[in-house]
Structure 1
Amino acid sequence: MRIAIAGAGAVGRSIARELLTNGHQVLLIDKEVSKVRPERIPEAEWLQADACELSSLEDAQLEDCEVVIGATGDDKVNLVVSLLAKTEFSVRRVVARINHPANEWLFNESWGVDVAVSTPRVLAALVEEAVSVGDVVRLFTLRQGQANLIEVTLPVGAPCAGVPLRDLDLPSDAAMVAIIRGSRVIVPTPDEPLEPGDELLFVALPEAEPAIRRAVCAA
């Protein structure tokens, strides 16, 4: 699919390389001439333009993109790009980088953002995931549906150890998507018993998180 990235700095270029490796078409947009260097990633399209200008996005043919990523170091730019992509070009998926945590509340569907990525929040979640056992850790927020990807590590002595998944009293607004057990990734089935140390990954609404914790850690 065709993906446009606003911001050709280190972050934007890293995303572009990853997407190109996965077989996608990538367009990099940046208004700074010094950053528009096609020789760095010759497989990508390049456009020297202000991504906050509607005419620039028309030149970029943003209507042909399935995904737009606001990856600049300026939150205002990322928000404007997101809003224009969603409202003027009906881009199906808009992803935006949050540079400053104080601005996180702005990055929602009102500004056209489907998925907001906050580096401080991701790093904090990874730290929590590494040290937290028996607690719900939010790894990622899916803004479009207001759901979260969460992780719970099953503690030693949890009452549900050895219990098959079908017997867990999980809330209806949650789905277990994977079990990480040692070096294995297990697709959950109703007959799969849980083991202490299992890392359980769920997609769930925020209000379902307390019920998940009760079901897997205190049942």
Structure 2
Amino acid sequence: MRVAIAGAGAVGRSVATELIENGHHVLLIDKSPGSIRSDAVPGAQWLLADACEMSSLEEARLDTCDVMISATGDDKANLVISLLAKTEFAVPRTVGRVNHPSNEWLFGESWGVDVAVSTPRLMAALVEEAVAVGDLVRLFTFRQSDTNLVELTMPDHSPLVGTRIADVPWPPDALLVAILRDTSILTPDRDRALESGDELLFVTASDAEAALASLLAPKG
């Protein structure tokens, strides 16, 4: 897979390193000469250019990329880059970094963003996930499909403790994808029984979240 990353700061370089280690081809683009540090990510291609300019993206051969990641520290730039990548170069997947939470609502289909990554929101979700038992915590939003990755830790009082997964009347738009139990990641096999303290991961529609929370951890 060929991936272009706009923004060769600490975030862009870290993402590039991970992708290269996983066998992908990465191009880092930055308009600041001081950010072009080929020794920092030796396996990447580098381009000194402004990724907000059409000519720069043409030079980067963006039309041959599978993914465009906008990882600059400027939300306006990340939106412009995502929009150009999607509308002018038909890049199949765009990922936009959200620097300021107040701008998160902009990072959607209208600006060509397939996946928005908001570090403040993600950190807050991880804090909630670590301390909340019996509360549904939204970890990630898939904007194109209006679905979310959510987590709920089974409380002791849940009526479904000891119930086989196949016997649970799950909401139709909620899919159990994994169970975290102690230090293990378990598949949601039909005959597996739910236990107190299980961390359940779901992909679910937004309007099914309340029914899911009520089913697994009813209040009162």
TM-score normalised to structure 1 length: 0.98
CA contact (8 A) 1:139 1:149 kept: yes
The equivalences for 1:24-173 within 5 A come to 24-173=24-173
* Equivalences, count: 219
CA distance in 1, matches of 2:46, 2:146: 33
Unaligned stretches of 5+ residues in structure 2 = none
**In the alignment, residue 170 of structure 1 is paired with which amino acid?**
W
CA distance in 2, matches of 1:159, 1:15: 42
After TM superposition, give the deviation of residue 196 of structure 1 in Å: 0.2
For each residue in 1:24-57, what CA deviation from the matched residue of structure 2 results, as whole angstroms up to 9, or x when unmatched? Answer: 0000000011101212212100000000001110
**In the alignment, residue 34 of structure 1 is paired with which amino acid?**
G
CA contact (8 A) 1:165 1:192 kept: yes
**In the alignment, residue 60 of structure 2 is paired with which amino acid?**
A
**In the alignment, residue 76 of structure 1 is paired with which amino acid?**
K
CA contact (8 A) 1:68 1:95 kept: yes
Identical amino acids, percent of aligned pairs: 61
**In the alignment, residue 157 of structure 1 is paired with which amino acid?**
H
Q: Which runs of at least 4 in structure 1 moved beyond 4 Å after TM superposition?
A: none
CA distance in 2, matches of 1:166, 1:191: 6
After TM superposition, give the deviation of residue 217 of structure 1 in Å: 1.6
CA contact (8 A) 1:168 1:216 kept: no
CA distance in 2, matches of 1:189, 1:197: 18
CA distance in 2, matches of 1:43, 1:165: 45
TM-score normalised to structure 2 length: 0.98
CA distance in 1, matches of 2:67, 2:58: 15
